Amino acid sequence: MDEYGKIAKELYKMGHKTEARIISRLAKETAAQPRDTKAQQQFDAAVNNGMTAEKLTQNLKHQLDESEQFSNLARKLSESGHKTEAKLMQDISVAAAGRSIRRNISGTQQYPIGRKIVPISRTRG
């Protein structure tokens, strides 16, 4: 914007007063407007308010950590003789996580409904 001001001054000195005023006015109007385009504003809003891969990854990690903590509490309840409460906690954890708990109260492996997961080391390649 400073460059336009310099050009307007030079034009004024050269006698082109009308052109100098027009350039000066346009430079001031342009300077008063926001520099971001509508597309840039939409992009910024999407990045700041929307879900990015990093945010989704953090949310997933947070949910898995909470599910693991819940599962560990259920296992401790079961070990201390509160099996009914532990079973309720396990059911709530499965419903909240939308998936099976990786290890059940007794510490054995659980599989998602309908399929068994084969460890990579046992697969034939």
Helix residue ranges, H only, the chain: 2-13, 17-32, 38-49, 53-79, 83-97
This prediction's pTM: 0.34
User: Are 58 and 114 in a shared domain?
Assistant: yes
pLDDT higher than threshold 80 for residue 17: yes
pLDDT tens-digit series, residues 39-95: 888 878 777 777 777 778 888 888 888 878 877 888 888 888 888 888 887 777 777
Pair 25, 4: CB distance under 8 Å? no
Domain that holds residue 6: 2-33
DSSP string, 36-49: S-HHHHHHHHHHHH
If asked whether residues 24 and 72 sit together in one domain, one would say: no
List, for residues 96-124, the tens digit of each pLDDT value: 666 544 444 455 555 445 444 455 554 45
Res 125: pLDDT: 47
8 Å CB contact between 103 and 71:
yes
Q: Are residues 63 and 23 in the same domain?
A: no
Q: Do 100 and 58 fall into the same domain?
A: yes
48 located within any domain: no
How many structural domains comprise the chain?
Answer: 2
Question: Which whole-number Å values give the CA distances from 52 to 49, 89, 103, 114, in the listed order?
Answer: 9, 32, 30, 32
CA–CA gap between residue 98 and residue 102 (Å, rounded): 12
Q: Are residues 13 and 63 in the same domain?
A: no
Residue 91 belongs to a domain: yes
